[in-house]
């Protein structure tokens, strides 16, 4: 009796498992064809738009290696076009990119040979009016077997910063006033990735020679759904922030005879949603091939756009400079007037 029951239950269990097991299958098919990879960030500030196009000869390769390791990539011959399309997709301007052999790069994407890219003169329509969206489309036709890549991106509008009444270009900044005077307001569009940055420029005197140095501070605001009250962020250029930045980034160095503050620069960059998703996928990249974001149809990689604006020439007033030179925490850094 016990034996018969066991057979029955095993039979039913097997049937249920068999019935459920055939669902939710995922076919992991590995293609033996090379994987085309595109990498391109275009900007209204470009005089030349550049697109990096490679393909992996190793179908097992990870996306990270595809864009970094030189020995697994080749640069295909291709027809590469940058187009301006209406929202309905009508092509109203098209530029053919030409293949260019550059010098080997020492860092960044495709950091060694073959450093071949495709480029064209910048299209002159990349400053959209408020409320309008300009779409750029990248198309690639690989030679040989028909294989076409497609990607599109919006051009972000030109960003701007709102400065408090104490902040003016070429006017010395007082780091010790009412905080609202040194407040910078950053508008954060919901669908765009935003970066706000501050660059402090200074000089170091080494062997009687003044050399330019800089410290960069930045804040990123991913394109996520935000509370409507937080569409604007505020940055206070107060003494606490400033001296902390200096102390954390400039170290005492016996070779440095003196340092001299020069000026500060503020900037804001908007980047299209694709960049936001790519950036975040890099932050959380795992071993899974699909973890790296791609917006290239029939290929892999990133095609996106950014738009930046910089405000330069912000000085320090005598009291702030004096604190930098003689303050307890910073006087060891040898800042002079």
Partner 1 sequence: MNQLLSRLAAPLIIALSGCNPIDRNPPDCLVRVFPEQGDSLTVFLFDGAGSVDDMTEPWQLKIRWDAESDGKWETDFSISKQFSWRFPTNGLYSVTGEVQDGAGNRSTNTFIVDVREVFRDSSFTDSRDGRPYPAVLLVNRWWMSENLMYGQKTEDFVITRPNGIIEYYADQNDEYGAYYTWSEATREGEDSVAGICPPGWRLPRKKDIREINDLVYFKKNLGKYLLEDGILGLDLRLSGRFVRSAGKWDGQGSRSSLWINDGTKPGRFKSWALYRNSSETDALAIVYEGDWGAAAYEGWPIDWGEFNYGQVALPVRCVKDYQ
State which of positions 241-300 bind partner 1 (CB under 8 A): 297-298
Interface residue with partner 1 among 71, 106, 146, 228 (CB under 8 A) is: 146
Binding-site string for partner 1 from residue 9 to residue 38, where x marks contact by CB under 8 A and - marks none: --xx--xx--xx--xxxx--x---------
Number of residues that bind partner 1 (CB under 8 A): 44
Smallest gap from residue 3 Cβ to partner 1 (A): 11
122 makes contact with partner 1 (CB under 8 A): no
Interface residue with partner 1 among 2, 103, 107, 132 (CB under 8 A) is: 132
Query: Do 32 and 114 form a contact (C-beta atoms < 8 A)?
Result: no
Integer Cα distance of 56 and 47 in angstroms = 29
Interface residue with partner 1 among 114, 128, 172, 189 (CB under 8 A) is: 128
In sequence order, the 6+-apart residues with CB closer than 8 A to the CB of 331 are 325
Q: With CA atoms as reference, report the closest residue to 67 among 102, 112, 110, 38.
A: 110
Integer Cα distance of 80 and 230 in angstroms = 40
The verdict on whether omega for the bond into residue 114 sits within 30 degrees of 0, i.e. cis, is yes
Query: Do 188 and 169 form a contact (C-beta atoms < 8 A)?
Result: no
Integer Cα distance of 54 and 51 in angstroms = 10
Query: Do 84 and 135 form a contact (C-beta atoms < 8 A)?
Result: yes
Instruction: State the pairing for strand pair 116-121/48-56.
Output: antiparallel
Q: Which is nearer to partner 1, 142 or 246 (CB)?
A: 142
State which of positions 53-112 bind partner 1 (CB under 8 A): 79, 81, 85-94
Q: Which is nearer to partner 1, 94 or 260 (CB)?
A: 94
Reading phi first (left if > 0) and then psi (alpha if -120 to 50, else beta), residue 259 is in: beta
State which of positions 148-167 bind partner 1 (CB under 8 A): 148-150
Interface residue with partner 1 among 48, 57, 141, 224 (CB under 8 A) is: 141
Q: Which is nearer to partner 1, 28 or 255 (CB)?
A: 28
Binding site for partner 1 (CB under 8 A): 4, 7-8, 11-12, 15-16, 19-20, 23-26, 29, 79, 81, 85-94, 124-125, 127-130, 132, 134, 137, 139-141, 146, 148-150, 297-298
């Amino acid at each position: 009796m016990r034996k018969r029951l066991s057979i029955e239950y095993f039979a039913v269990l097997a049937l249920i498992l068999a019935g459920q097991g055939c669902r939710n299958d995922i076919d992991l098919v590995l293609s033996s064809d090379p994987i085309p990879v595109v990498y391109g960030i275009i900007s209204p500030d470009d005089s030349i738009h550049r697109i990096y196009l490679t393909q992996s000869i190793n179908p097992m390769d990870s996306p990270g290696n595809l864009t970094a390791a030189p020995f697994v990539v080749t640069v295909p011959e291709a027809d590469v076009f940058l187009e301006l399309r209406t929202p309905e997709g009508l092509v109203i301007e098209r530029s053919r990119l030409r293949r260019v052999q550059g010098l080997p790069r020492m860092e960044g994407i495709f950091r060694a040979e073959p450093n071949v890219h495709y480029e064209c003169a910048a299209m002159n329509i990349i400053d959209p009016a408020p409320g309008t969206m300009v779409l750029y489309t990248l198309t690639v036709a690989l030679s040989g077997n028909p294989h076409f890549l497609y990607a599109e991106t919006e051009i972000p509008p030109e960003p701007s910063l709102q400065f408090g009444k104490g902040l003016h270009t070429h006017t010395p900044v007082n780091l010790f006033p009412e905080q609202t005077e040194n407040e910078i307001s950053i508008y954060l569009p919901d669908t765009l990735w935003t970066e706000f940055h501050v660059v402090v420029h200074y000089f170091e005197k080494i062997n009687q020679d003044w050399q330019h140095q800089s410290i960069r501070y930045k804040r990123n605001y991913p394109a996520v759904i935000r509370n409507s009250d937080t569409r604007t962020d505020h940055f206070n250029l107060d003494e606490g922030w400033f001296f902390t930045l200096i102390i954390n980034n400039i170290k005492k160095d016996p070779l440095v005879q003196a340092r001299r503050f020069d000026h500060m620069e503020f900037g804001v960059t908007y980047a299209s949603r694709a960049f936001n998703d790519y950036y975040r996928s890099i932050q959380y990249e795992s071993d899974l091939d699909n973890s790296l974001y791609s917006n290239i149809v029939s290929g892999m990689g990133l095609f996106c756009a950014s738009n930046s604006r910089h405000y330069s020439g912000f000085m320090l007033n005598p009291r702030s400079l004096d604190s930098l030179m003689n303050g307890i925490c910073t006087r060891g850094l040898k800042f002079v007037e």
